[in-house]
């Protein structure tokens, strides 16, 4: 299967992103994968302050590579370096009814959420971003797109756009499928959703000491004052991490409920386990950083490979439109 997936450049990644990347790792073993940095999508919300997008791109791609996304197996590139996406988006915009975009459920939600943060995204570009996504996918004739459930309406829109093009002009595009993956929902150290903007994240490349410090700051069961107080793991963030990463979570649960383990020891154990997960990522990241120019090289090669496919699709599109 040809698979396409992207991420907006947000800089260094955190533990919450690891599960998404682990899914990419599985996909790259058996499919032809295109992974891209969605920097034009970042512009839709960061248009007033785009200065960091480029640096964030390099930082994020470095983390992809450190996790094991392999440029020998997958095509890794930056969206804005393949302008064919923009031409296809423009062509799609000519025949896509406005109502298709206005009814995408995330649209109004996002406009409202970002307005609360003082950002006005009632722009032409933001309304059209699911259509740009459709162009991102269809320019590679991708058949599968890994998504979360909230993104399924975007895939449906993409399929409708493909159908409409094929019906109006010529059968050029496949109708891609959304591939639902089980993604671990990792809470931030305060128990809320993990996010850079909440300052509650665990960086993917955190040093062992930093990992221990952040684990110590995690919110636990407030009813446990003394080491032998009976615990309620269901309200504890540390326990949620044990449930995600520790094979012996059942033992932690029993010991906590029986007051046989103290929170300090429980956190110490967790820090060792997460170090086992993140230590190798951090080491590979350091080795990559030492190879000057390597990330640029990967993106340069990826761009050439992506452009070859994108240009061939656009040629078919232009022929179908008699342009």
Site of interaction with ligand SF4 (CB under 6 A): 220-221, 224, 231, 233, 236, 238-239, 252, 256, 261, 263, 266-267
**Residue 3 token pair:** 């698979």
Cα–Cα distance for residue pair 28/51, rounded to 1 Å:
32
Helix (H, G, I), strand (E, B) or coil at 7: strand
Shortest reach from residue 191's CB to ligand SF4, in Å: 11
Shortest reach from residue 262's CB to ligand SF4, in Å: 7
Cα–Cα distance for residue pair 58/51, rounded to 1 Å:
13
Nearer to ligand SF4, 223 or 308 (CB): 223
Q: Which residues of 267-293 are buried (b: 16+ CB within 10 A; e: fewer)?
A: bebbbebbbeebeebbebbeebeeeee
State the DSSP code for 231. P
Nearer to ligand SF4, 29 or 234 (CB): 234
Shortest reach from residue 237's CB to ligand SF4, in Å: 8
Shortest reach from residue 241's CB to ligand SF4, in Å: 9
Nearer to ligand SF4, 129 or 239 (CB): 239
Nearer to ligand SF4, 164 or 269 (CB): 269
Q: What is the 3-state secondary structure (H, E, C) of 18-80?
A: HHHHHHHHHHHHHCEEEEEECHHHHHHHHCCCHHHHHHHHHHHHHHHHHHCCCCCCEEEEEHH
Shortest reach from residue 90's CB to ligand SF4, in Å: 53
Cα–Cα distance for residue pair 5/33, rounded to 1 Å:
8
Cα separation values, 262 from 221, 242, 246, 252, 280, Å = 11, 14, 17, 10, 29
Residue 260 in contact with residue 233, Cβ under 8 Å?
Answer: no
Nearer to ligand SF4, 132 or 202 (CB): 202
Shortest reach from residue 232's CB to ligand SF4, in Å: 7
Shortest reach from residue 282's CB to ligand SF4, in Å: 24
Nearer to ligand SF4, 135 or 263 (CB): 263
262 class by beta-carbon count within 10 Å (0-12 exposed, 13-18 middle, 19+ buried)? middle
Nearer to ligand SF4, 159 or 267 (CB): 267
């Amino acid at each position: 299967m040809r698979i396409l997936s992207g991420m907006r450049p947000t800089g260094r990644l955190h533990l919450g992103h690891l599960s998404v990347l682990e899914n990419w790792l599985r996909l790259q073993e058996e499919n032809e994968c295109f992974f891209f940095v969605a920097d034009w999508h970042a512009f839709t919300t960061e248009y007033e302050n785009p200065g960091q997008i480029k640096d964030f791109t390099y930082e994020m791609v470095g983390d992809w590579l450190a996790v094991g996304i392999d440029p020998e197996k997958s095509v890794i590139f930056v969206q804005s370096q393949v302008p064919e996406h923009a031409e296809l988006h423009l062509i799609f915009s000519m025949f896509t009814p406005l109502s298709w975009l206005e009814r995408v459920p995330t649209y109004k939600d996002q406009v409202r959420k970002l307005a609360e943060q003082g950002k006005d995204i009632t722009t032409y570009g933001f309304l059209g971003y699911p259509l740009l996504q459709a162009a991102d996918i269809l320019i590679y004739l991708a058949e599968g797109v890994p998504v979360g459930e909230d993104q399924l309406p975007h895939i449906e829109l993409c399929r409708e756009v493909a159908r409409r093009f094929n019906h109006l002009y010529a059968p050029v595009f496949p109708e891609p499928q959304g591939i639902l993956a089980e993604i671990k929902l990792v809470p931030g150290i305060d128990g809320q959703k993990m996010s850079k903007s909440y300052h509650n994240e665990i960086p993917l490349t955190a040093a062992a000491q930093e990992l221990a410090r952040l684990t110590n700051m995690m919110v636990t069961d407030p009813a446990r004052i003394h080491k032998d107080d009976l615990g309620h793991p269901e309200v504890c963030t540390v326990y949620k991490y044990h449930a995600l990463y520790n094979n012996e979570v059942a033992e932690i649960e029993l010991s906590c409920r029986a007051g046989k383990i103290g929170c300090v020891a429980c956190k110490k154990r967790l820090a060792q386990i997460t170090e086992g997960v993140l230590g190798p990522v951090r080491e590979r990241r350091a080795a990559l950083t030492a190879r000057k120019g390597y990330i640029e090289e990967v993106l340069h090669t990826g761009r050439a490979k992506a452009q070859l496919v994108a240009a061939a699709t656009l040629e078919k599109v232009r022929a179908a439109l008699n342009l």
